[in-house]
Chain A
């Protein structure tokens, strides 16, 4: 298991080096001041995946905001809205997804500890790696996520058994559209988790990749809770 983190050394948060103004010749990518107006600079650009994940989440947010406004307009504008009772399994699925997030968070912390410990082995005072292999938490997160999708699938089957199809009434339309769109995004997250595990086991896992994947995963979590509320509430 050749696992290392390739990341440029980073100053801890709060102690970014304060580079003086006309020092523009030595800086890293970011915010080197061109003239005397900026006060501090960050020495390093953040790795693109750390920025990229926020960009991705912003556009997903916009997509679901668009769906939300469609739902609000549709629900408020016509009398054919028949509020459906959500299949109870959804609440169970929610727990699965939340648990998955927790597992991932534990895994993430352990991976960090694991790696720092490994990196420090041999350094004065540190004899052996301190943390255990945290991959099992990553697996736990992955499988809980898969169970979540399976659970959503069950919910669709249950609704279908009740005769509620995509086109039955506007509420069922939105139910399927929102849950399917969310599930598709969750699939993306599952792919990301699988990739993280693969990288962790086989090659190198960058901290920024791990962080980006877990941000995405937690976001899917929050998004689901929001969607559940949106479908449950009578607006």
Chain B
């Protein structure tokens, strides 16, 4: 059954030295935790940066004590300069999109649980897997280093539009070294994720245990599998774009800088480059990227909700097909980010149509989740609450997507806070809630201890209310004409909006503080949490069939589980309990219904 390569992964003995066990580990579980740890640090750094921005937006000339130690020129006397605001904003977005939303739900949980859920001992290419983390981590360090090098990080935004990003230091602080470091970091990140995707795809296709057919894979595995296919193509396009960008800086080429460009009174020594080229390459990656950030969350949420509802979703197959459709369509819509870029208006129509079409699978996914919830006796716990929160955020943020998908409306709303509200809800907060849900759900498996439920629920309520308080007003700001990526609104028609900005700032700080509850809960439960039973949620999938929590080095103690059932068999008629584990040999009447 299993081929040799399958076994070879862990044919090596369990390492004993600290370095081999915890640092340069080949074990997918350790790599998963390393990814999680990195994402956790990145999330708090990103959040801290957002506080700085929010304080500046509410009280533009306020001095933030200590800020000048971070950058003397960027914040003289603790007051942020307009440029430094943009630099912080860019770093916030880059850290969040790449090093949190991509790494935590996909790379962290996927590494830890995908092999276990398919019944494998490890990924087939553990060395690549180890490299995947360390290359990504190197990318993170390179990115962070830009805070301390030269005139600070780049200010070009996470999209790094050319020519601003390509002309070098004349374009402003951070546009020289800062951009080079940014592009290097993202290039490394791409390589790391490509290596990861390679492992995810081959694990799913080739490492499944006996009886684990594709249709018996849980939603999570499907989601990670589909995400890695998107990652494989998207990151493979962003990486060359970053290489070309670096060359424009270091080698004096002109890929993205047009002729006769004057910056700060200086004629640029470039000729003939194409600024739109960058946008095409970037968004060809960028739109799939937003689905890379959200699809794992959809898988995690479906997984947790079926477990909490004690019944399968309305349709397993339609769910999986919809996730697949999202992936396919996500390549055909990227031009909707470029409606106002000056590209041919015909292309706008061409991109608008699939953008409206892609709302169909999104809607189906939401409807399946909601329809399944209807009439279910949901077990309320921190994990299921965050899963519900995910759905709520996704719907709220998705609805504004319908508006933005029409070029005629987008012309008004593009580059306003409306877009900021849209993507923070649909991508930022939703994906975050997916991460939280996954953490509360899988913590007992990863550490053998339960997290504190009371703190978890408090964390949920505060985050849920907080997120809406922060991001709903953004839509209003956008409709009122508040432009995105501006650092102050002091002397124009936006003046009356300042109180609203202050409200948002206060909400953001309080919501951020609520995240410390989570951090405390994580650390406390890791050491002093109540010991977890083998299957605390009475779930069915293979991660709950390992001999211990956390699972031993080779996951199943040297044997391979045998799968007899579909992944989400709850409330099956005639079964002895209200759930049937995938490994249970129990025979039930009627076919498995996947």
Residues of A at the B interface (CB closer than 8 Å) are 6-8, 24-25, 27-36, 38, 44-49, 51-52, 55-56, 58-60, 62-63, 65-67, 69-70, 73-74, 77-81, 166-167, 170, 173, 177, 181, 206, 208
Contacts and interface: CB of A to CB of B under 8 A. Distances in A.
B207 interface: yes
A17 to B, nearest CB: 13
A126 B351 CA distance: 65
Given A58-B232, A177-B247, A34 B594 contact: yes
B202 A70 contact: no
Interface in B541-594: 562, 564, 566, 591-594
Contacts of A81: 272
5 contacts: A25-B564, A32-B213, A58-B233, A166-B251, A181-B243
B208 A35 contact: no
B273 A74 contact: yes
Nearest to A74: B274
Nearest to A166: B251
A107 B220 CA distance: 43
Interface of B: 1-6, 124-125, 194, 197-198, 201-203, 205-216, 232-233, 235-237, 239-241, 243-244, 247, 251-255, 258-259, 271-274, 276-277, 280-281, 284, 562, 564, 566, 591-594
Contacts of A181: 240, 243
Contacts of B241: 66, 70
A58 B203 CA distance: 17
Give the 10 A-B CB pairs with smallest separation, nearest first: A78-B272, A48-B124, A62-B236, A167-B252, A80-B272, A28-B1, A59-B236, A48-B202, A29-B208, A66-B237
A105 B216 CA distance: 39
B592 A67 contact: no
Given A34-B216, A48-B6, 11 more contacts: A31-B213, A32-B212, A34-B215, A35-B594, A45-B207, A47-B6, A48-B202, A52-B201, A78-B259, A81-B272, A170-B255
B211 A25 contact: yes
B566 A34 contact: yes
Contact of B213 (A24, A51, A65): A24
Given A73-B277, A170-B254, A177-B243, A51 B201 contact: yes
A47 B5 contact: yes
A225 B591 CA distance: 53
A98 B201 CA distance: 31
A69 B202 CA distance: 29
B139 to A, nearest CB: 17
Contact of B2 (A28, A55, A65): A28
B197 A55 contact: yes
Contacts of A63: 236-237, 239-240
A7 B194 CA distance: 27
Contacts of A49: 5, 124
Contact of B208 (A45, A58, A74): A45
A29 B212 contact: yes
B207 A77 contact: no
Contacts of A173: 247, 251, 253-255
A43 B207 CA distance: 13
B214 A48 contact: no
Contacts of B591: 35-36
A59 B233 contact: yes
A177 B245 CA distance: 12
A141 B503 CA distance: 69
A7 B235 CA distance: 33
A74 B247 contact: no
Contacts of A65: 237
Contacts of B1: 8, 27-29, 44
A224 B372 CA distance: 53
Nearest to B594: A34
B272 A59 contact: no
B272 A29 contact: no
B3 A7 contact: yes
A80 B202 contact: no
Contacts of A7: 3-4
A55 B201 contact: yes
B308 to A, nearest CB: 23
Contact of A79 (B4, B124, B272): B272
B594 A51 contact: no
Contact of A62 (B208, B233, B562): B233
B3 A34 contact: no
Contacts of A28: 1-2, 210
A55 B198 contact: yes
Contacts of B253: 166-167, 170, 173
B472 to A, nearest CB: 38
A45 B255 contact: no
A132 B284 CA distance: 51
Which of A27, A28, A55, A58 has its CB near the most chain B CB atoms (within 10 A)?
A55
A56 B2 CA distance: 22
Which of B5, B258, B276 has its CB near the most chain A CB atoms (within 10 A)?
B5
A45 B6 contact: yes
A97 B203 CA distance: 33
Contacts of B274: 73-74, 77-78
Contacts of B194: 59
A126 B284 CA distance: 58
B209 A29 contact: yes
A48 B594 contact: no
B232 A62 contact: yes
A48 B255 CA distance: 38
A60 B205 CA distance: 20
Contacts of B594: 34-35
Contacts of A78: 258-259, 271-274
Contacts of A46: 3, 205-206
Contacts of B197: 55, 59
Given A27-B211, A51-B205, A173-B255, A34 B592 contact: yes
A167 B239 contact: no
Given A32-B213, A52-B125, A166-B253, A206 B240 contact: no
A154 B232 CA distance: 34
Nearest to A172: B253
Contacts of B273: 74, 78, 170
Contacts of A60: 236
Nearest to B118: A29
B2 A29 contact: yes
Given A62-B237, A177-B243, A55 B232 contact: yes
B5 A27 contact: no
A74 B212 contact: no
Contacts of A38: 213
B129 to A, nearest CB: 12
B16 to A, nearest CB: 24
B210 A29 contact: yes
Nearest to A76: B274
A62 B281 CA distance: 11
A167 to B, nearest CB: 4
Contact of A52 (B202, B212, B247, B284): B202
B207 A48 contact: yes
A60 B253 CA distance: 23
A193 to B, nearest CB: 18
A177 B244 contact: yes
A69 B276 CA distance: 12
A37 B284 CA distance: 37
A80 B208 CA distance: 54
Contact of A206 (B5, B205, B235): B5
